[in-house]
Amino acid sequence: MKHRDVLSLIEEGEGFRVEFKQRFSDYEKISKELIAFANSKGGYLIIGVEDDKSIKGVESEKSEAAFIIECAEKYCEPPIRYKLDFIEIKHKELVVVEVFESEVKPHRLQDFKNEIDITTAKVFIRVNDKSVPASKEMIKILQAQTNFTSLKNYSIDKNERMVFEYLQQNETITVKELTCLSNISNRRASRTLIKLVRAGMLNIHVKDNGENYFSSAF
């Protein structure tokens, strides 16, 4: 990565595809950031920069690199794809981790299970400038994207019709709102909204706290 590109990322500040870290606190926290980028659109983790953009540098590029490698390859399941660069800015060394968007979503914190368990898996996604836990609905959608299982020629039943009738009067809908509206279980309401997202009829949105809401895709 070029010197001017790093300066540009720092100047822009933290956002959907950029995160600053002055130092590492523990493996899980850094792995969470790597997972969130991989499960989203990819991004850059810049080590040696404060949240206010001030450049502090790192004490040892070799130690930081070893830490990142261990996080990416041992604490993320499946391991994520990344690239490491060492850049000197203002006579201070920075470590830049470019995380590539994954083709095998969702990634999770290592739990040593053969398959993902959506009730216990620690999956993260990027929302604005934060890495937040992914909901069960989002995990299922990430799985569908990886498996290319979008729905085509999808027939609309009464619950789906109720969703669109509700959205004619309201901008968004949640699982809880559909549960009350249709008098169905949370699980069925969740499945209904996920199907509509996979069919391209709804968009899923995520709040800063990780909660989902849905809007019409038309």
CATH 3.40.50.2300 fits 3-133, yes or no: no
According to CATH, where is 3.30.950.30 located in the chain? 3-133
Closest CA to 68 of 80, 50, 78, 77: 80
The DSSP H or E segment spanning 54 is none
Q: State how far the Cα of 9 lies from the Cα of 6, in Å rounded to an integer.
A: 5
pLDDT in tens, 112-167: 999 999 999 999 999 999 999 999 999 999 998 887 655 555 667 889 999 999 99
Report helix, strand or coil for 188.
helix
Inform me whether the pLDDT recorded for 41 exceeds 90. yes
DSSP string of 18-48, one letter each residue = EEEESS---HHHHHHHHHHHHHTT-EEEEET
pLDDT in tens, 61-98: 888 899 999 999 999 999 999 999 999 998 999 999 99
pLDDT in tens, 42-58: 999 999 999 999 999 99
- The structure tokens listed for 210 are 């990780």
Inform me whether the pLDDT recorded for 25 exceeds 90. no
The DSSP H or E segment spanning 147 is none
According to CATH, where is 1.10.10.10 located in the chain? 142-216
Q: State how far the Cα of 134 lies from the Cα of 125, in Å rounded to an integer.
A: 6
The DSSP H or E segment spanning 127 is strand 124-127
State the CATH class of domain 142-216. Answer: mainly alpha
Report helix, strand or coil for 178.
helix
Region 2-24 average pLDDT: 91
Bridging pattern class, strands 130-133 and 124-127: antiparallel
Bridging pattern class, strands 82-89 and 92-99: antiparallel
